Amino acid sequence: MPLSHHVTPRCLKVQANLEKLLLTPLPLPYTLLVSRSIWLYVIFSPFALASALGWYTPLFNAVIAYVFFGLEEVARQMEAPFRTQAQCLPINWLCRNIEISINEALNEDSPPPIHINEQWVLS
């Protein structure tokens, strides 16, 4: 019996939800608002902190900028978790492992596994 006869409606629902996640981008106004707010905060925070921190203001502001811009980059990458870059989820690898496990349970021939190298890039 082919694998498609064993797929349950629940699995199809999960697949539909993942496809919605994949195809629904974060609205551009939200992305712009976060980006511009970070820039404004980083630009104007030295003026507010200068009296309290003195000559340490540039150092403290550099740390704040590094943290906020880093968080913005992480959020940007998390918008699309199913891409094929190294930091994204290895969804093809996960699906292939599930397919192999199901085929083994059904005593059917399994496709070859997908290998992931040291940088977690699919090969």
Say if 99 falls within a structural domain: no
Would the CA dihedral through 77, 83, 84, 88 be positive or negative? positive
Task: Tell me whether residue 72 is in a domain.
Answer: yes
Q: Which residue has the tokens 């697949």?
A: 15
Give domain status of residue 117, yes or no: no
pLDDT number for residue 79: 74
Domain assignment of residue 43, yes or no: yes
Number of domains composing the chain: 1
Query: Residue-wise pLDDT tens for the chain (123 aa)?
Result: 555 566 677 777 877 887 777 777 777 787 888 889 999 999 999 999 999 999 999 999 999 999 999 998 888 877 766 666 666 677 777 788 888 888 888 888 888 887 766 655 554
> Does 10 map to a domain?
no
Extract the tokens encoding 9. 């409606």
pLDDT tens digits, one per residue of 89-114: 777 777 888 888 888 888 888 888 87
**What is the per-residue DSSP string for 19-86?**
HHHHH-PPPHHHHHHHHHHHHHHHHHHHHHHHHHHGGGHHHHHHHHHHHHHHHHHHHHHHTSTTSSST
Any domain includes 87: no
Query: If phi over 0 gives left and psi between -120 and 50 gives alpha, with beta otherwise, what is residue 107?
Result: left
- Please list the residues that pair with 83 across neighbouring strands: none
Domain assignment present for 95 = no
pTM more than 0.75: no
What pLDDT sits at residue 38? 93
Asked if residue 106 is part of any domain, the answer here is no
> What is the residue range of 63's domain?
26-79
